[in-house]
Structure 1
Amino acid sequence: MMRFIALAISVVLASAQAAPAGPWLREKGKGFAALSGNITQEKDTSGAAYFEYGLRETITLGADLFYGIDRTLQQSGSGIVFMRFPISEPDATHKWAWHAGIGARSQNTVITPAVEAGLSWGRSIKIGERYGWAVIDSSLNIPGSGLETRIKLDGTVGLGFTDHVKGMAQVFMTHQGGEIFAKFAPSVLLVPGKSSYTIQIGLEIPIQGEGDTEFKLGLWRDF
C-alpha cells in the first residue's frame, strides 16, 4: 500500500495554480479562498474553509476553519487566524515560509483557545512539458486544557494536465492523543473556461488509524 501511494504521488499530482497552504505568499492585495465538504458512506460529514490575503509582499494573512460531525453526532471543530512570513529569497528554487496563528478548538461541548505555528517548504517541478509543484506543510497546534496537542504533516505534489484539467494527490498525517492518523487524498481539479474558479472532486482514503473513505467536493477562487 505504501509503495502504491508513493508511486501515485509521483505521477498524479497537483495543479500549477496555487493550492491552499504552502510557502508561496500572496501578492499584496490578492487573495485566495477554498471551500470544501466531505461525506462518508456512513454519513459522517465535515466542512472546511481556507482564506489567504496578501497584506504586504512579505506578509500573508489567512484563516483555516474546520467543522465535523460523525454518525454518532460527535462534533469537532477548529479555527485559526494566522500570518505567514517568508524565510527564503523571492527567487529561490526552494521556497520556505513559517506561520503563526491564534484561534480555538472544540470537541462537543469543550471549547478552548489554541495557538499554532508551522513551517512550509515548496518548489516548482516539471514533468515532460507539464509544470507543477511540490509542497510539505507542517504545523503544531496547542490548545488549552481539555483537548490534546495536534501535530500535522501534509504533502502535496502537483501537475497540470491541460489548461482546464489538473490533478492533485496529497498525504495528510496527524499525530494526536498518542496516535498517528494518515490519509491519501487524490483529486481532480476542473477549471471551467476562463473562470477564476476551480472545482475540486476527490477522495480521502485512510491508510493508518480509524476512519472511512470520504468523498470530497470543493470550490477554489482567486481574487
Structure 2
Amino acid sequence: MIRYVLMLALLLPLSAQAGPWPREVGQVFLSLSGERNRAGASYASAYGEYGLTPRTTLGVELGRTTGETTAILWWQRALDDGQGVHRIALQSGVGAVRRGDDLLPLAQGALSWGRGFDRWGGGWMTAQVLARMTGGAPDPRGPDMPSLAASFLTAKRVVKADLTLGLRPRDGLMVINSLWLEDRQDEGFAARLAPSLVFDAPGPIKIELGVVQPLTGRAEQAVRLGTWLEF
C-alpha cells in the first residue's frame, strides 16, 4: 500500500465529480488526483470548476492513462431555485480523446441530485447519472494491453451512476463513501466501492486518500491520492 501511495505522489495527481451545487460566482475549485491498481494500470487527472453565474458552473477535465489522453469541457446548470434541501443540476460537455495517432470526438450529458443534512456532524448525499459517447476507432488492446489495463480507456459508449455519502465528523476531516456503477460497451457492467478520507492541509489545500474495491466486473483493487484547492 505505501509503495503504491508513493508512486501516486509522483504522478500528476480519478477525477473529482461535479455535484449539483453551483459554484459561487468567480469561485475556483481545482483537483489533481491519481489511481493505480494492482495490475499496474494507472490513471491521472486534473479537474477544475469555475462559478460563471449564480446558477451556472463551467468545468474542465484532463485525464491520462496508458494509450489515451482525454480532455472535456462541460457546462452545468442548476435546475432548482435554490430553496429547500434538494439540489438538481443538468450537465453537458464536449471534448476529445487522443489514442495513438487517432483524435476522437467525445460528448457527454449528466443529471445530478444532492442534499445536505445536519446529522452525524453534518454531511451530504449525491447521485449522478452520466452518459458518454466517443467516436469509433480501432480497438487499442493487444498482447501488451490486457483487459484490466484497458478498463481505464474510454469506451465508445459508457453509462455511469455514482452514489456518494459524505460526512464531516469533525473540523478538518471528511469521510466519503462512493458507489460507482458503470456499463461499458467494451467491458460490460461493473460496480466499485470507493471510500476515502479528506484531510485539511496547510492553507486552502485538502488531501484525499482512498481505495477502490471492485464488487462486480473485471477490475482490480486500486489506491487513490488527490489534492483539492478552492479559492
Identify the TM-score tier after normalising by the shorter chain: 0.7 to 0.9
1:55 to 42, 52, 57: 52
Q: How far does residue 50 in structure 1 lie from its aligned partner after superposition?
A: 1.4
Q: How high is the sequence identity, in percent, across the aligned residues?
A: 28
Query: Residue 79 of structure 2 aligns with which residue?
Result: 87
Q: Which amino acid aligns with 1:186?
A: P
2-structure distance, mates of 1:154, 1:109: 32
CA deviations 1:98-136 (Å, max 9, x no partner) are 0111101344554310111110000002324x1000001
Q: Which residue of 2 aligns with 1:189?
A: 198
Q: Which runs of 5+ in 2 are unaligned?
A: 1-15, 138-154
Flag structure 1 segments of 5+ consecutive residues without an equivalent.
Answer: 1-18, 70-74
Q: In the comparison of the two structures, how many residue pairs are matched? A: 198
Whichever residue aligns with residue 30 of structure 2, its letter is A
Aligned residue for 2:180? 172
C-alpha contact (below 8 Å) 1:167/1:189 kept by paired residues: yes
- The yes-or-no answer on 1:144 pairing with 2:153 is no
**Aligned partners of 2:184 and 2:39: how far apart in 1?**
23
Which secondary structure does the structure 2 equivalent of 1:188 belong to?
Answer: strand
Give the 3 Å change call, closer, same or farther, for CA 155–107 of structure 1 in structure 2: farther
Instruction: Report whether the alignment pairs 1:39 with 2:47.
Output: no
1:189 deviation in Å?
0.7
CA contact (8 A) 1:80 1:101 kept: yes
Report how far residue 43 of structure 1 moved.
Answer: 2.0
Instruction: Answer whether contact 1:20 1:34 (CA < 8 A) is retained.
Output: no
Q: Distance in 2 between matches of 1:177 and 1:106?
A: 19
Distance 2:117 2:70 in 1: 32
Indicate yes or no: 2:115 matched with 1:135: no
In the other structure, the counterpart of 1:124 is 116
1:142-182 CA deviation, whole Å, 9 max, x = no partner? 12233511111111111001111221111111111161122
Secondary structure of residue in 2 paired with 1:211? coil
Q: Determine the structure 2 residue equivalent to 1:8.
A: none
User: Does 2:32 correspond to 1:24?
Assistant: no
**Inter-partner Cα distance in structure 1 for 2:96 and 2:25:** 27
TM-score by length of 1: 0.83
Structure 2: which amino acid aligns with 1:191? D
Change (3 A) 1:126 1:101: same
Please identify, of 168-177 and 106-115, the stretch whose mean Cα deviation from structure 2 is larger.
106-115
Output the amino acid matched with 1:217: L
Of stretches 104-113 and 47-56 in structure 1, the one that deviates more from structure 2 is 104-113
Q: Distance in 1 between matches of 2:63 and 2:180?
A: 15
